[in-house]
Structure 1
Amino acid sequence: MAASHWAYTILFFFSSLSLAASNSSSPFICRTTPQQVIIKIWVNGIEGKNIEGLGALFGGILPIHEKEGIRLPAVIPQPVECCSNLSSKLSGSIAICQRGDCDFSTKAEVAQSGGASGMLVIDNEGDGLPVMDCPHTKTLNISIPSVVVTKSDGEVLSKALACEKSSVELLLYAPLRPVLDMSVLFLWFMAVGTVTCASVWKGLIVCDKSEGSYSQLLRKESLETDEDDEEIVEINMMSAVVFVITASAFLLLLYYFMSSWFVWLLIVLFCIGGIQGIHSCVISLLLSKWRNLGKRKVNIPLFGSVSIFSLVVFVSCFVFTVFWAAYRKASYSWIGQDILGIFLIITVLQLAQLPNIKVATVLLCCAFLYDIFWVFLSPEIFGNSVMIAVAEGDNSGGESIPMLLRVPRFFDPFGGYNMIGFGDLVFPGLLVAFSLRYDKQKKKGLANGYFLWLTVGYGLGLLFTYLALYLMNGQGQPALLYLVPCTLGTFVMLGLVRGELKDLWNYSLEDHSPSTSSSRQSFTDRVDCASETNNIEVRGPLSV
């Protein structure tokens, strides 16, 4: 009897488990995670642009694959809020309901009682999507799937339905997103590679001056012209604070007055900077290896004698940039945008330099607070996250700000891009470049220097950023929140452990240079060895 009793107990236990498992997918059970939904649209049989939505925690579960979904007509019910009994039947259709005042579960019950096979709610807020949660005060008996879409996507759908002669059909499905898209790794390598390349760029364009006569001539010319050629902007504490204040004012300007013409102005400035960046980098790199490229010249009105090589490079850069601007909305335009952006960042990091850790601390801490405030704290004041709203291009007429590197999500069925702003490369990049200059001046190796560890710290900071994005379900993250501690914190801790923090804090390149002539010679070795001999300026597209 005892054995029989235990057998029945075990059988009842496993039966309960199987019943619970079967009921876990029941539409009457509240789920804990909403489905991310793709909505395919057909207007008069012509397929339009897909929109995205967020599934409810109650009701039916949408299929994972598109082929398993059912194409159904969309209908605007009366009343449009779906908060009370409908005046007409919606048999076999998807009810398009406005947000209204009642809760989501009430809308779903009304739509289901009217015969609808699904419900799509148009939100009335401009930022983000609400979670359609289960009410705790009543038992639900909802079997139809429910989805909420943003106000902007809903307006497009409502306009199509407003036409009497138009027929709108929808297909809803919820594909699974990959845990890690390869575009994240690609963007990580791109960002770390750009910062590293910009830091070591001057070492890449060093000339081979094995010929004695050439070296003597170059040294003589350098002493006369290096002050005009080396246009280095050394950042000080005041300019660091002013820069962050100016950036905040410009961000607010974009937020309140964002329009297509404003974004077009930024696109034009980006193109000018991209042309300058590519031209400068290509000229300096190629002339450092092949000095004879710049000897042949041609006379151009208003510009005088110009190197044919410099002119050809400039025209090529101009054509490339115009092509990108003309096709900036094409699926492949991200390649051109990234190329222009990378060369622009490299050029900026050659022109701007940090003198010591004291200035770096002020600049990066201000940028740290700037990033956190405009992403996380600005919604408390302005109602929306100002940084995210500007980055997403709200009210920009379909245009997007180009001051970022982006890579499409190749394996994500929802598409989109992984992006990183220029500031997330430039601010830490200034510190990484300074660490390399300090290591060279102090004749430090990789292991006992700072450059290697700051590069590793920058890479780890980016990894933490992407990890936070994943853990917070794609909510926008201020990258400098993770990059500043991983770079500046690493620098300060290493300096403290090695007893060099005081020197780093008050460091100045002029104070540590052996002589003025050696400093000038160092600059000549880096950049001007080719341009001085061939009378070519690497700073501008056309040089006289």
Structure 2
Amino acid sequence: MDLQRSVIVVLLVMAVSLKLGSAGDIVHHDNIAPKRPGCDNNFVLVKVPTWVNGLETSEYVGVGARFGPTLESKERRANHTRVILADPPDYCSPPKKNLSGEIVLVHRGNCSFTTKANIAETANASAVLIINYETELFKMVCEDKETDLNISIPAVMLPQDAGTILEDDLKNNFRVSVQLYSPLRPLVDIAEVFLWLMAVGTILCASYWSAWTTREAALEQDKLLKDASEETLNAEGSESSGYVDINTTAAVLFVVIASCFLVMLYKLMSSWFLEVLVVLFCIGGVEGLQTCLVALLSCFRWFKHARESYVKVPILGAVSYLTLAVSPFCIVLAAIWAANRRVSFAWIGQDILGIALIITVLQIVRIPNLKVGTVLLSCAFMYDIFWVFVSKWWFHESVMIVVARGDKSGEDGIPMLLKIPRMFDPWGGYSIIGFGDIILPGLVVAFSLRFDWLANKKLRAGYFVWAMSAYGLGLLITYVALNLMDGHGQPALLYIVPFTLGPFLTLGKKRGDLKILWIRGEPERPCPHVKVEPYEEERPQE
């Protein structure tokens, strides 16, 4: 149990470091280059399917310019247009021949983007494709001195590798044609619905498991207090409960350590460092899945003997036969996921391991009262806002979004995320949510159900229904904000924390339970081993 708690606490710090409820950006706003007449487009990604000698080949992704007309959003309305090489290649001087509605492929450099577009328009081109000299996409803006631009053809930048392929085909005298269109994202993707259900369902399962084990422990303690001697009670009380309780100091340090870990991820993010994170995630996932499976199988009487029989294992100590039986399955599942994590369906294994890890964390790590929960969520609230929004002032980019998306690792983000592929989004990608957006509010929600059960409160009279509903509503508002912000990453706890804590504190104050919730964290229960004697005046007369 000590090893298990150590692993869970380490993984919890890593999980708290990331709290993001977004997919990748689709529309890119540039605050450095303000909009002006003729140069006021949003930066949109552009699909560029290609045909070589009449046969459809690859589809590339470019980015539209700040200037020029907006592109068609429907593929069926986009024209198939022939592409020719620019002469001169940079199109910074008058072309050697006029075009007849073709798309011209030019190189970046030697003059402004608007100059290239103006020369292409003068040569009767229908659009201009500009090849970047890097593999990344670059935002094409207007020069400061340029005002009242009137460019009537679209300009699209392609990454270097895509542009080089098209250029080679044209130099080999192949007939190349393309379509240019920028499809819109759906307002709501069904992936977000499933992700919402996964997050809410995970907290629901973890809360009931935590409340059930707490109630069983309370009943067992009452029985011991009633039947056992004082020496036995002292010996029993000295044993470890197997839980990790967070205090206010730990709550603050938790967020500070998570901030340090996030900066370390940002600075050290690379392929080798990602491999280390994958190994740590697999260890935590195996531990979490093993704990969940053992608890689930223990509900059946067929596994009672295997659950209660133990064998001593080096380093690990006493381990039940049931744990030894399920461990190979968990290890194999984690190994298969790690070896195939780059394939399209790897998100399934990642979500299974992640959900099991989250449930185990919420079972082992607990907040003793509402005061600690309020401090923890308040610190996480400020942490979330700082690393998503404020960090842009120091690092020139959002640290949390960069780390969560894995921009510096060359892969689809780090594994401490639940993710589902976007099903109806023409740009693909994933809807994701960080473990911290589930674990941190989940600690408060699980606490509310434990209090309700110990206080013997009915469902409507308790706090769990309100806390669970408030969390679900807060997460829903997060996705609404995410879509309103054109897919930009949002600090989920900015919305979740007020929705989760607000009703809990207000309802506790209204019902007169706030003092008990804030300090004790559990209702007062009579001690079954103490026999209350009647007062002298209450004793029957002989």
TM-score if structure 1 supplies the norm length? 0.76
Report whether the alignment pairs 1:462 with 2:475: yes
* Structure 2 counterpart of 1:109: 118
Alignment CA distance shift 1:299-1:30 (3 Å): closer
Offset at 1:458? 0.5
Secondary structure of 2:179 counterpart: strand
* Structure 1 counterpart of 2:128: 119
Report whether the alignment pairs 1:241 with 2:246: no
* Structure 1 counterpart of 2:453: 440
Cα RMSD (Å) of the superposition?
A: 4.0
The 5 Å alignment of 1:163-242 reads: 170-202=178-210, 230-242=241-253
Report if aligned partners of 2:75, 2:183 keep a CA contact under 8 Å in 1.
Answer: yes
Alignment CA distance shift 1:261-1:30 (3 Å): closer
Alignment CA distance shift 1:472-1:128 (3 Å): farther
Offset at 1:480? 0.4
Report whether the alignment pairs 1:277 with 2:288: yes
Secondary structure of 1:62 counterpart: coil
Alignment CA distance shift 1:308-1:390 (3 Å): same
Offset at 1:175? 2.6
Taking the aligned partners of 2:391 and 2:136, their CA distance within structure 1 comes to 13
The 5 Å alignment of 1:356-371 reads: 356-371=369-384
Report if aligned partners of 2:288, 2:360 keep a CA contact under 8 Å in 1.
Answer: yes
Taking the aligned partners of 2:474 and 2:109, their CA distance within structure 1 comes to 40
Alignment CA distance shift 1:263-1:513 (3 Å): farther
The 5 Å alignment of 1:69-84 reads: 69-70=79-80, 72-73=82-83, 75=85, 78=88, 80=90, 84=93
Offset at 1:403? 0.5
Taking the aligned partners of 1:126 and 1:454, their CA distance within structure 2 comes to 47
Report whether the alignment pairs 1:157 with 2:162: yes
Read off the aligned partner of 1:177 and give its amino acid letter: R
Report if aligned partners of 1:287, 1:294 keep a CA contact under 8 Å in 2.
Answer: no
Deviations 1:464-497 (A, max 9, x none): 1111111111111000000000001221121222
The 5 Å alignment of 1:351-500 reads: 351-398=364-411, 400-500=413-513
Structure 2: give runs of 5+ residues left out of the alignment. Answer: 1-36, 217-222, 531-542
Report whether the alignment pairs 1:255 with 2:275: no
Taking the aligned partners of 1:503 and 1:128, their CA distance within structure 2 comes to 57
Offset at 1:452? 0.6
Deviations 1:127-176 (A, max 9, x none): 9975868999335252x322346xxxx24335546769777864322234
Secondary structure of 1:430 counterpart: helix
How high is the sequence identity, in percent, across the aligned residues?
Answer: 43
Offset at 1:514? 4.4
Offset at 1:301? 7.9
Q: Which moved more, 1:328-337 or 1:62-71?
A: 62-71
Offset at 1:230? 3.0
Alignment CA distance shift 1:488-1:148 (3 Å): farther
Structure number with higher relative contact order (C-alpha < 8 Å, ≥ 6 residues apart): 2
TM-score if structure 2 supplies the norm length? 0.76
Structure 1: give runs of 5+ residues left out of the alignment. Answer: 1-27, 209-214, 519-544
Alignment CA distance shift 1:72-1:385 (3 Å): farther
* Structure 1 counterpart of 2:68: 58
Report if aligned partners of 2:65, 2:139 keep a CA contact under 8 Å in 1.
Answer: no
Report if aligned partners of 2:211, 2:446 keep a CA contact under 8 Å in 1.
Answer: no
Report if aligned partners of 1:207, 1:288 keep a CA contact under 8 Å in 2.
Answer: no
Report whether the alignment pairs 1:316 with 2:324: no
Read off the aligned partner of 1:388 and give its amino acid letter: I
The 5 Å alignment of 1:4-153 reads: 36-40=45-49, 47-48=57-58, 50-54=60-64, 58-59=68-69, 61-62=71-72, 64-65=74-75, 68-70=78-80, 72-73=82-83, 75=85, 78=88, 80=90, 84-86=93-95, 92-98=102-108, 102=112, 104-121=113-130, 130=139, 137-138=147-148, 140-142=150-152, 144-148=153-157
